[in-house]
Amino acid sequence: PPDVASVRKVTQNTEPIAIRERTVDGFTREFLRELNFGQGVDLSRASVNDQYLALARTVRHYLMVRWLETLRRQYELQAKSVAYLSAEFLLGRQLDNALLASGLQDVVEEGLGNLGIDLATLRDAEVEPGLGNGGLGRLAACFVDSLATMNVPCIGYGIRYEYGIFRQTFVDGWQVEKPDNWLALGSPWEFPHPEAAVTVSFGGHTETYDDEGTERTRWVPGWSVLGVPYNYMVPGFENGRVNTLRLWSAQATRAFDLEIFNAGDYAEAVRAQTFAENISKVLYPEDSTPQGKELRLQQQYFFVACSLANFLEEVLPEDFDLRRLPERIIFQLNDTHPVIAIPELMRILVDERKWNWDDAWAVIQKVFAYTCHTLLPEALEVWSADLLGRLLPRHLEIIYRINEEFLDGVRERYPDDELRVRRMSIIAEHPERSVRMAFLATVAGTKVNGVAALHSQLLADKVLHDFSEYFPEKFTNVTNGITPRRFVRLANPGLSGLITGAIGDGWVTDLERLKELEPLADDAEFRRLFREIKTNNKHRLVDVLRERDGIELDPDTMLDVMVKRLHEYKRQTLKLLHVVSLYERITSGVLDIDKVTPRTFAFGAKAAPGYRMAKQIIGLINAVGRTINEDPAVKGRLSIAFPANYNVTLAETLIPAADLSEQISLAGKEASGTGNMKFALNGALTIGTDDGANVEIRQLVGDDHFFLFGLTEPEVADVVDAGYHPTSYYESNKTLRHALDLIASGKFSGGDRHVFEPVVANLLQEDRFLVLADFQAYLDAQDRVDAAYADTDAWTRSAVLNVARSGFFSSDRSMRDYIDRIWHTPPIDPNA
């Protein structure tokens, strides 16, 4: 197993590890052995789950040799690594990716086939680890995939939630959350290492003491828990490298138990256990409005303290001089969730290693970098000083001191500008004293990056403007990317085969080579094959939705897809108003049904359980869907498909089938988007605003192959500054009025006018995200979509060009940018 202690043993071990035979017979033997000795069952009596677990373990054996080898070489080379600190890793299913990375797909398929087992059935037995909310968590998973593939040493550090993102169900069209018990049937991809557990402390108080003439502080914690590491393999694509993802699970400390046991209270001891284990029990399902809950801060400090201790004490050699830490590591902070690592490392250096403050601070400023993923002010994490001080008293003191010294510098640079000092303070005073985590990360980090060009610009110009003036050299951009292995090669085997047939298979690790497809956009036979693949992907989706959700989807319609978290700024309501408007105009005779392009409007979206408006909108989409799907007047023309529980697995069949990708957030609100990239790379055309990475997608694919609409960010700012009045749009636009009135009439709620009143009222009275202001422009753009879709050949040509010109959005490129601009961690030469 790959913890450092055993790696050291492996280094000394001269016995070669038997390389497993990569033949069908060799695989079959290994698989049956796992079934018999691992699962303890005969093939004849093995359940699908038995077979899946045996297969997973067999595959991981093949990767294991490479994992150990990677760790051994890394230890020898002492190369600089990336520690990607992220509260979320939204991995998706592991089996297929492991098969692809290890090059075992064909051998396994044939071997299983000989035994009468269908690989696809076993694939479907895997429950995906949903250890993330959405884009941010999935980005972390794409990044570690790319780093492994690019031969860059990386450890992903995060939390092994016992329950991931909730399973969404619909009851009468309303979202009901069910726990995601992803571990119930066993998790064959993880390697627990209880012997390497780390103790993490909380609470208590601080005290000063005299240390041979120097006054020092020590933290006397009140309680502690254990962090048990679970290691996961992160295999590179066909390159023999396997990096590590280390997720922490909380357990009660033995000491804690014992103390209470000795006091004779068994029940109390068990309660303590439960209390400790709560820390990694469940992923918080809020993706934008942090609630400031104590347990959440416990989670953050828990995983960060475990990770720092693990890196400093286990990964680095025992005698390592921490002054050289910047040569060995960069801690990338995935949003503010791990930012408490900054005072934690200060505490370790100053209190435990007894460094002076300035030396410690100098190192800190070289080993942390911060990625921001939002522009919404309410999404910026702020911790109440009271809460933070109770849970982590020493860390709060350290934050105060960092702030004092920082503000001294600000005062020096801007004398007599107390307003600015107050604006820039890491500590806010109103409405209560609190710590602004984004500011702390910016002050302490070597770099701050946004996740798309527009986002980074707005960060520097608006959200963190004072800071970009003060530290201009810290601000940079790295546009997000997605892994082509999972989202093209695995998700879209048809398209992958077509591409490889045309330009060879180099594109899988060098996605810019898709450019070579450009001339083929003008090749009629290529376009025919491309279309055929899209159709096949739709048929595959039809099967999946029928089986999974009982949804009947018409594969002969345009598939228009909006999948992402439900959020007002993303504007699912704008898309819904388009559908309602079409329906209203058809049924009232304004629009000739024969002129309407047959479309399936697909939605996939989870709402944060406490986000009432988002849940209302889900209810409304389902209600409109029910009415429209049952109405013979629009049969074969309009339908809504809203499968519950959109997740990575569903994305993998939905995205390759899509014709149209909806990326319609209000300009200036979506930091980047990554779904937008997945669609373009799978040959969907985008209808989108000038927001996030849409801007870059449009620039690359070209205006003629992208349906742009809506206010630009500066226009939004002007409209808002001038005082936005949604009712004026309602009053002056008949189409809009009729659509909204139809909802308000109770048409979709069995005549009950109250049910969706809050949604309509919110749009009419507040409409924070300017849905009504962009409505007409959106409808016009949808008319352009229809016109373009009518010319099948031209549409296919645009789709091919979208694929050919989207190579930039590989997460391999994002990683190269991080390496060049922030990390400076060269790949390991595989021949060294």
Tokens of 514: 């898709």
Tokens of 816: 């190269």
Contact 306, 229 (CB under 8 A): yes
Using rule CB under 6 A, residue 97 touches ligand HBZ: no
Kindly tell me which of 286 and 505 has the beta carbon lying closer to ligand HBZ.
286
Tell which one of 130, 156, 290, 481 touches ligand HBZ (CB under 6 A). Answer: 290
Among 98-106, 284-292, 359-367, 804-812, which window interacts with ligand HBZ (CB under 6 A)? 284-292
Of 657, 676, 697, which Cα lies nearest the Cα of 492? 657
In whole angstroms, give the CA distance from residue 407 to residue 411: 6
Using rule CB under 6 A, residue 134 touches ligand HBZ: yes
Which residue out of 328, 538, 565, 637 is catalytically annotated?
565
Q: Measured between alpha carbons, how far is residue 504 from residues 172, 478, 796, 799 in Å?
A: 49, 29, 21, 20
Look at strands 434-436 and 382-384 and give their pairing: antiparallel
Which residue out of 570, 637, 669, 797 is catalytically annotated?
570
Kindly tell me which of 673 and 726 has the beta carbon lying closer to ligand HBZ.
673
Least distance from ligand HBZ to the Cβ atom of residue 332, Å = 13
Least distance from ligand HBZ to the Cβ atom of residue 447, Å = 16
Using rule CB under 6 A, residue 481 touches ligand HBZ: no
Label residues 661-678 b or e (16+ Cβ within 10 Å = b).
Answer: bbbbbbbbbbbbbbbbbb
Among 134-142, 224-232, 504-512, 819-827, which window interacts with ligand HBZ (CB under 6 A)? 134-142
Kindly tell me which of 111 and 134 has the beta carbon lying closer to ligand HBZ.
134
Tell which one of 130, 338, 688, 692 touches ligand HBZ (CB under 6 A). Answer: 692
Which residue out of 138, 578, 669, 678 is catalytically annotated?
678
The radius of gyration of the chain from alpha carbons, rounded to an integer in Å, stands at 27
Using rule CB under 6 A, residue 668 touches ligand HBZ: no
> What are the percentages of helix, strand and coil residues in the chain, rounded to 5?
55, 15, 30
Kindly tell me which of 393 and 675 has the beta carbon lying closer to ligand HBZ.
675
Residue where the block lists tokens 């953050």: 300
Binding mask 707-746 for ligand HBZ (x = CB under 6 A): ----------------------------------------
Kindly tell me which of 74 and 674 has the beta carbon lying closer to ligand HBZ.
674
Using rule CB under 6 A, residue 304 touches ligand HBZ: no
CB neighbour class for 24 (10 Å; exposed up to 12, middle 13-18, buried from 19): middle
Residue where the block lists tokens 């699912």: 572
Kindly tell me which of 286 and 741 has the beta carbon lying closer to ligand HBZ.
286
Contact 511, 810 (CB under 8 A): yes
Least distance from ligand HBZ to the Cβ atom of residue 673, Å = 5
* Count of residues that interact with ligand HBZ, criterion CB under 6 A: 19
Tell which one of 338, 673, 683, 807 touches ligand HBZ (CB under 6 A). Answer: 673
In whole angstroms, give the CA distance from residue 205 to residue 224: 13
| Torsion sign over Cα 781, 787, 789, 794 | negative
Least distance from ligand HBZ to the Cβ atom of residue 623, Å = 27
564 catalytic? Reply is yes
Among 178-186, 384-392, 504-512, 672-680, which window interacts with ligand HBZ (CB under 6 A)? 672-680
Among 285-293, 619-627, 648-656, 720-728, which window interacts with ligand HBZ (CB under 6 A)? 285-293
Using rule CB under 6 A, residue 146 touches ligand HBZ: no
Which residue out of 373, 534, 571, 615 is catalytically annotated?
373
674 catalytic? Reply is yes
Residues in 353-382 that interact with ligand HBZ by CB under 6 A: 373, 379
Binding mask 447-476 for ligand HBZ (x = CB under 6 A): ----x-------------------------
The DSSP line for 217-283 is EEEE-SEEEEEEEEEEEEE-SSSS-EEEEEEEEEEE-HHHHHHHHHTT-HHHHHHHHHHHHGGGTB-
Tell which one of 286, 294, 715, 741 touches ligand HBZ (CB under 6 A). Answer: 286
Kindly tell me which of 300 and 825 has the beta carbon lying closer to ligand HBZ.
300
Least distance from ligand HBZ to the Cβ atom of residue 91, Å = 15
Kindly tell me which of 139 and 490 has the beta carbon lying closer to ligand HBZ.
139
80 catalytic? Reply is no
Q: Tell me the backbone φ, ψ of residue 171, rounded to 5 degrees.
A: -120, 115
Kindly tell me which of 530 and 603 has the beta carbon lying closer to ligand HBZ.
603
Tell which one of 7, 64, 112, 139 touches ligand HBZ (CB under 6 A). Answer: 139
Look at strands 447-450 and 368-371 and give their pairing: parallel
- Which residues, including other chains, have CB under 8 Å from residue 82's CB and lie 6 or more apart? 147, 152, 153, 154, 155, 329, 330, 332, 818, 823, 825
The one-character DSSP state at 75 is H
Using rule CB under 6 A, residue 158 touches ligand HBZ: no
Using rule CB under 6 A, residue 287 touches ligand HBZ: yes
Kindly tell me which of 54 and 82 has the beta carbon lying closer to ligand HBZ.
82
Tell which one of 672, 749, 762, 806 touches ligand HBZ (CB under 6 A). Answer: 672
Using rule CB under 6 A, residue 288 touches ligand HBZ: yes
Tokens of 45: 């009596």
Tell which one of 83, 117, 119, 136 touches ligand HBZ (CB under 6 A). Answer: 136
Least distance from ligand HBZ to the Cβ atom of residue 540, Å = 26
Tokens of 153: 């040493």
- Which residues, including other chains, have CB under 8 Å from residue 728's CB and lie 6 or more apart? none
Q: Tell me the backbone φ, ψ of residue 231, rounded to 5 degrees.
A: -95, 140
565 catalytic? Reply is yes
Tell which one of 670, 696, 713, 767 touches ligand HBZ (CB under 6 A). Answer: 670
Using rule CB under 6 A, residue 344 touches ligand HBZ: no
Using rule CB under 6 A, residue 332 touches ligand HBZ: no
Tell which one of 102, 243, 249, 674 touches ligand HBZ (CB under 6 A). Answer: 674
Kindly tell me which of 371 and 496 has the beta carbon lying closer to ligand HBZ.
371
Of 794, 736, 785, 747, which Cα lies nearest the Cα of 596? 785
The DSSP line for 550-579 is -----TTSEEEEEES---GGGTHHHHHHHH
Among 119-127, 197-205, 283-291, 725-733, which window interacts with ligand HBZ (CB under 6 A)? 283-291
Using rule CB under 6 A, residue 164 touches ligand HBZ: no
Q: Measured between alpha carbons, how far is residue 119 from residues 5, 95, 105, 216 in Å?
A: 36, 10, 9, 61
Kindly tell me which of 28 and 672 has the beta carbon lying closer to ligand HBZ.
672
Look at strands 154-159 and 81-85 and give their pairing: parallel
Least distance from ligand HBZ to the Cβ atom of residue 696, Å = 12
Q: Tell me the backbone φ, ψ of residue 386, rounded to 5 degrees.
A: -60, -50
- Which residues, including other chains, have CB under 8 Å from residue 673's CB and lie 6 or more apart? 135, 452, 480, 564, 663, 665, 691, 692, 693, 694
Contact 600, 155 (CB under 8 A): no
826-827-828-829 Cα dihedral, nearest 10 degrees:
-110
Kindly tell me which of 128 and 670 has the beta carbon lying closer to ligand HBZ.
670
In whole angstroms, give the CA distance from residue 429 to residue 435: 9
Among 132-140, 179-187, 256-264, 544-552, which window interacts with ligand HBZ (CB under 6 A)? 132-140
Catalytic center residues: 373, 564-565, 570, 674, 678
Would you tell me which residues interact with ligand HBZ (CB under 6 A)?
133-136, 139, 286-288, 290, 373, 379, 451, 480, 670-674, 692
